[in-house]
Amino acid sequence: MFPVIRKNIKSCVLFCIATFLSISLACNENYATEKQAGVKTESGSKNIDQKGTVMPEKIIRSDEEWKRILTPEQYKITRKKGTEPPFTGKYNNYKEKGTFRCVGCGNDLFRSEAKYDSGTGWPSFWEPISEQNIKTTPDTSHGMIRTEVLCSRCDAHLGHVFNDGPPPTGLRYCINSASLDHVKKKEE
């Protein structure tokens, strides 16, 4: 009886070690790919808007303040890392020219010229206005390994970035509509 138990324990330990090594290797390959593709994994020192001017410093608010400022849906997505259902966000099929800003602090995030239809059900962009206006961090929630995108000014959860986007960056910033405001481009 005991040899059978020892054999099963040995098999279980070997399986756990193999699984751990596989996950570690996948994380390292994903990190290396993101570094190569230019996905930023550390926060920038200052926020720069599309005109090259420095944005005001970091915004820090209490949970109660965020609840007063944001709608319940915006709060759930930006502060609690929620996700709106696909194909339901107001900016998914939105075509107006202008700038997409963070709903929490007004930080300029994406230009409409970088928006494209990825077919995923969320607004998708191939590049941010500035790498310094966003930050990214590994996200292992829901049993997946992804790269979360945050506003660098107020730490609002925006969505995720993937390495399956169009040229020239090859990136797809998949962003929740509820985390964005849009400012129409002024007629020149």
Specify the 3-state DSSP secondary structure of 33.
helix
Q: What local confidence, expressed as pLDDT, does residue 15 receive?
A: 53
Largest Cα–Cα distance in the chain? 84
Q: What local confidence, expressed as pLDDT, does residue 186 receive?
A: 82
Q: Are 123 and 91 in contact (CB under 8 A)?
A: yes
Pick the CATH number of 40-184 from 2.130.10.10, 3.30.565.10, 3.40.50.11060, 2.170.150.20: 2.170.150.20
Please state, in angstroms and rounded to a whole number, the distance separating the CA atoms of residues 39 and 34: 5
Between strands 115-116 and 124-125, the pairing is antiparallel
Query: pLDDT tens, position by position, for the chain (188 residues)?
Result: 445 444 565 555 555 454 443 444 344 443 333 333 333 333 333 444 445 444 558 999 999 999 999 999 999 999 999 999 999 999 999 999 999 999 999 999 999 999 999 999 999 999 999 999 999 999 999 899 999 999 999 999 999 999 999 999 999 999 999 999 999 988 66
Q: What local confidence, expressed as pLDDT, does residue 9 receive?
A: 58
Q: Are 188 and 104 in contact (CB under 8 A)?
A: no
Q: What local confidence, expressed as pLDDT, does residue 55 receive?
A: 59
Q: What local confidence, expressed as pLDDT, does residue 50 receive?
A: 46
Q: What local confidence, expressed as pLDDT, does residue 185 receive?
A: 87
Catalytic residue among 102, 151, 154, 174: 174
The residue extents of the domains of the chain are 1-37, 40-184
Sequence-distant (≥ 6) Cβ neighbours of residue 95 within 8 angstroms? 112
- Cis check: omega of the bond before 128, within 30 degrees of 0: no
Specify the 3-state DSSP secondary structure of 147.
strand
User: Which residues lie across from 135 on neighbouring strands?
Assistant: 150
User: Which residues lie across from 183 on neighbouring strands?
Assistant: 99
Q: Is the pTM of this model over 0.85?
A: no
Q: What local confidence, expressed as pLDDT, does residue 188 receive?
A: 62
Residue 174 annotated among the catalytic residues of the structure: yes
